[in-house]
């Protein structure tokens, strides 16, 4: 199995607040890894380490190393823009830009300097197809992205991310703002996407984690308590705290 990320001794704090404690974990290529754990335990914070979105928070300080294909992504020479084109992100709330459907997907490509109209169009269409949205929007690519339903908007955000042809897609509770049907669609999509991408997903739904992920990491108070193949975590957890959380007996 191919390691994509290798995280060692990562500690992160916001000001005086120590949020991630001695994190050591390897994440694998073309797998879906789920981060689970109670609210406030640092899942989103850890997820944001992989595309350095924490850099935007002034009070945030991070130690340790995160290697992506053996390169330290926190090295000064590593260009954040390159990192973020390579590591896409989908947020909790669908957040399309106030642009047309087409422009939303083309946005990242244009920012990265692609100008050729034909190339753009092809990449946009491919991304929309890959995100299982194309059939629903093919006749109205120039309509406002905000005219789409919540679930469609979230798939648009996924399309926007995969248009960049990233290696990794980070997803922070991508279905928590959606209804069950839209959620099922996205889950289906994730199964499809893991052929081409490595996916790291934060979720509060045990059902979702067990259904779509290959690996699961259980977080508690900024530590990874247990990390294993998803099946083991859900059928045979080793740590009692993990078991309690999974079975809903937590707290």
Q: Report 202-241 residues binding other proteins (CB under 8 A).
A: none
Q: Which of residues 57-86 bind ligand ATP (CB under 6 A)?
A: 57, 59
Determine the Cα–Cα distance for residues 203 and 219; give it in Å rounded to an integer: 11
- Contact positions vs Mg ion (CB under 5 A): 44
Q: How far is the CB of 139 from ligand ATP (least distance, A)?
A: 37
Among Mg ion, other proteins, ligand ATP, none, what does residue 14 contact (CB within 5–8 Å per kind)? ligand ATP
Residue 91 binds ligand ATP, judged by CB under 6 A: no
- Of the residues 3, 22, 40, 138, which one makes contact with ligand ATP according to CB under 6 A: 40
| 59-74 residues labelled b (16+ CB within 10 A) or e (exposed) | ebebebebbbeeeebb
> Using H for helix, E for strand and C for coil, what is the string for 116-173?
CHHHHHHHHHHHHHHCCCHHHHHHHCCCEHHHCCHHHHHHHHHHHHHCCCCCEEEEEC
User: Where along the sequence are the contacts to other proteins (CB under 8 A)?
Assistant: 51, 53, 56, 81-82, 84-85, 88-89, 91, 93, 95, 97-100, 107-108, 111-112, 143-147, 157, 160-161, 164
User: Where along the sequence are the contacts to ligand ATP (CB under 6 A)?
Assistant: 14, 17, 19, 39-45, 57, 59
């Amino acid at each position: 199995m191919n390691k994509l990320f290798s995280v060692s001794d990562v500690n992160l704090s916001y000001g005086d607040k120590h949020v991630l404690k001695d994190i050591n974990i390897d994440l694998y290529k073309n797998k879906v890894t789920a981060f689970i754990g109670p609210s406030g335990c640092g899942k989103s914070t850890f997820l944001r380490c992989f595309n350095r979105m924490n850099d935007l928070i002034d009070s945030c300080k991070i130690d340790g190393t995160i290697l992506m294909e053996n390169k330290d992504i926190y090295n000064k020479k590593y260009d954040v823009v390159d990192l973020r084109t390579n590591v896409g992100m989908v947020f909790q709330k669908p957040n399309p830009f106030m642009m047309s459907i087409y422009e939303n997907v083309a946005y990242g490509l244009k920012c990265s300097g692609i100008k050729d109209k034909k190339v753009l169009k092809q990449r946009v269409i491919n991304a929309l197809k890959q995100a299982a949205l194309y059939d629903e929007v093919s006749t109205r690519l120039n309509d406002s992205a905000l005219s789409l339903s919540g679930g469609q908007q979230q798939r648009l955000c996924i399309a926007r991310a995969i248009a960049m042809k990233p290696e990794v897609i980070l997803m922070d509770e991508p279905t928590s703002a959606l209804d069950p049907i839209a959620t099922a669609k996205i889950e289906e999509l994730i199964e499809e996407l893991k052929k081409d991408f490595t996916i790291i997903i934060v979720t509060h739904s045990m059902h979702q984690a067990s259904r779509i992920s290959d690996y699961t990491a259980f977080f508690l108070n900024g530590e990874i308590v247990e990390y294993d193949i998803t099946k083991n975590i859900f059928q045979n957890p080793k740590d009692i705290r993990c078991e309690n959380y999974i079975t809903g007996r937590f707290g």
